[in-house]
């Protein structure tokens, strides 16, 4: 009898040793700490240009193409778009967040761990001579049942996150193209305004000299004074606009504020764009629409999961038991929730309503896309017509200004009249530059709206 007591006590002691060992191992299985990186100084310093050139050459994206970058040459809008995707701090943060959804998809594919329960009954008094012990292992059957649909849901969700980031990258690249075109155009406009300012000051001096001789009326002097002030204001405004655009572009590219880039002037787009064809292309290639489709697939899996949750809480437990009388028992239990009162109806209703919301959101995005493309195509067409008119006007003004300049040199007309003719040419040239800037920016916006190339390449 003493031998039986010793055996039972030894078995109970083993159970306690195993339990303590598991607790100690669990305490040691913590993740090592990681320092906060990168440092603030590294972020503020901006990317290295040699690294940017290397990364741009091997760049991979679902829409954007790799480019060869030479910082000693003017950078094209496409090259600046790729640089923005590589180096933009917000995109780096978004890509880091995307790893969370990938980890969630990985987690959904793992089998659930079983639960082990160990128990020990110390005999204090009574006719029995042994201590009791029990060991049980439990497995969540619901997790096994739902594994397939949960994996499908999380994979679709992870795909949605990746597509959302790719769409954000495409928009950022498009905004870089817009800003690049703006910087190039404003550089030209600033130069034209500075030329007009100098010309206005020259005309004013000539008129003041003529007025001193009594050759010009006072109202002419005042008109030239106002024109000179207006030219100076326009030159100052264009310098401020150019400075703002340059800083915005540097921030978008993840560069230091003082970084200087040489930017190539983008080609001025033509007319003849087909809004319906571009809309069909957008429906096929826009990444945000594909992301919404992936989100809808994820929610569809959530609806299936909600329907399965009507039969929830399914837990299987099995294990041996020794009681204080020395009886060896094999226990088996199964627990589940009866779908009587709740039956998961609330979860199903929420899942169905969310899926319907996503369907409406997708339809609204399609509608907005069509409207945006139609508006941009129409605006570009209108401005193309205005550009053609200004070009014709400029073509007729330039010979007249040249003839007036020649007549002034011979003394046939006043220098002020010749200056006015030159200013008319400068004003029309400025109008043309402003129209071309607007067309270039709207063409870049159209590329963003279409979600990819406007035609097959």
Backbone φ, ψ for residue 434 (5° rounding):
-65, -40
* Farthest CA pair distance, the chain: 139
Angle, helices 89-108/77-87, rounded to nearest 10 degrees: 50
Structure tokens at 383: 């401005």
pLDDT tens track for 347-398: 889 989 999 999 999 999 999 999 999 999 999 999 999 999 999 998 888 8
pLDDT tens track for 288-341: 999 999 999 999 998 988 888 887 777 888 888 887 777 888 888 888 777 777
Question: What is the model's pLDDT at position 362?
Answer: 94
Do residues 171 and 178 make contact, with C-beta atoms less than 8 angstroms apart?
A: no
Question: What is the model's pLDDT at position 42?
Answer: 65
Structural domain boundaries of the chain? 2-450
pLDDT of 184 > 80? The answer is: yes
**Mean pLDDT: which of 141-155, 268-282, 283-297 is highest?**
283-297
- What average pLDDT does the segment 267-291 reach? 89
398 Cβ neighbours under 8 A, 6+ residues apart: 425
238 Cβ neighbours under 8 A, 6+ residues apart: 186, 189, 190, 193
pTM over 0.85, yes/no: no
Structure tokens at 439: 């067309």
For tokens 């007549």, the residue is: 407
- d(CA 268, CA 390) in angstroms, rounded, equals 15
Strand ranges inside 261-327, DSSP E: 315-322
- Rounded to 5 degrees, what angle do the CA atoms 290, 91, 269 make? 70
Do residues 397 and 428 make contact, with C-beta atoms less than 8 angstroms apart?
A: yes
DSSP state of 76: P
Question: What is the model's pLDDT at position 105?
Answer: 67
Structure tokens at 309: 């949750």
The CATH architecture assigned to 2-450 reads Up-down Bundle (1.20)
């Amino acid at each position: 009898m003493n031998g039986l007591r010793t055996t039972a006590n030894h078995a109970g002691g083993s159970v306690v040793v195993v339990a303590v060992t598991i607790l100690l191992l669990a305490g040691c299985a913590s993740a090592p700490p990681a320092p906060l990186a990168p440092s603030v100084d590294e972020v503020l310093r901006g990317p290295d240009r040699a690294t940017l050139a290397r990364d741009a050459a091997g760049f991979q994206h679902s829409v954007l193409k790799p480019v060869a970058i030479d910082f000693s040459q003017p950078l094209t809008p496409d090259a600046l778009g790729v640089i923005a995707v590589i180096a933009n701090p917000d995109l780096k943060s978004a890509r880091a967040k995307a790893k969370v959804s990938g980890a969630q998809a990985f987690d959904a594919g793992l089998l659930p761990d079983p639960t082990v329960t160990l128990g020990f009954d110390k005999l204090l008094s009574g006719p029995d001579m042994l201590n009791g012990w029990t060991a049980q292992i439990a497995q969540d059957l619901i997790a096994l049942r739902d594994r397939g649909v949960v994996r499908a849901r999380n994979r679709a969700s992870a795909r949605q996150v990746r597509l959302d980031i790719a769409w954000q990258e495409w928009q950022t690249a498009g905004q870089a193209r817009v800003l690049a075109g703006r910087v190039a155009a404003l550089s030209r406009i600033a130069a034209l305004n500075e030329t007009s300012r100098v010309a206005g000051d020259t005309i004013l001096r000539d008129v003041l000299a003529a007025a001193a001789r009594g050759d010009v009326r006072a109202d002419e002097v005042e008109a030239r004074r106002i024109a000179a002030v207006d030219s100076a204001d326009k030159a100052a405004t264009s310098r401020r606009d150019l400075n703002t655009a340059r800083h915005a572009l540097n921030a978008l590219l993840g560069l230091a504020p003082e970084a200087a880039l040489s930017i190539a002037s983008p080609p001025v787009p033509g007319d003849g764009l087909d809004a319906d064809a571009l809309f069909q292309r957008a429906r096929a290639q826009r990444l945000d629409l594909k992301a919404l489709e992936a989100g809808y697939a994820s929610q569809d899996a959530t609806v299936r999961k909600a329907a399965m949750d009507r039969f929830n809480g399914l837990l299987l437990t099995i294990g041996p038991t020794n009681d204080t009388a020395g009886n060896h028992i094999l226990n088996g239990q199964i627990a589940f929730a009866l779908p009587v009162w709740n039956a998961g109806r609330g979860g199903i209703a929420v899942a169905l309503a969310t899926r319907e919301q996503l369907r409406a959101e997708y339809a609204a995005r399609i509608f907005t896309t069509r409207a945006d493309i139609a508006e941009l195509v129409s605006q570009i067409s209108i401005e193309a017509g205005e550009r053609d008119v200004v070009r014709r006007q400029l073509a007729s003004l330039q010979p007249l200004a040249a003839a007036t300049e020649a007549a002034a040199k011979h003394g046939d007309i006043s220098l002020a009249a010749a200056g006015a003719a030159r200013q008319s040419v400068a004003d029309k040239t400025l109008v043309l530059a402003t129209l071309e800037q607007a067309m270039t920016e709207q063409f870049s916006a159209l590329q963003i709206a279409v979600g990819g190339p406007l035609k097959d390449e």
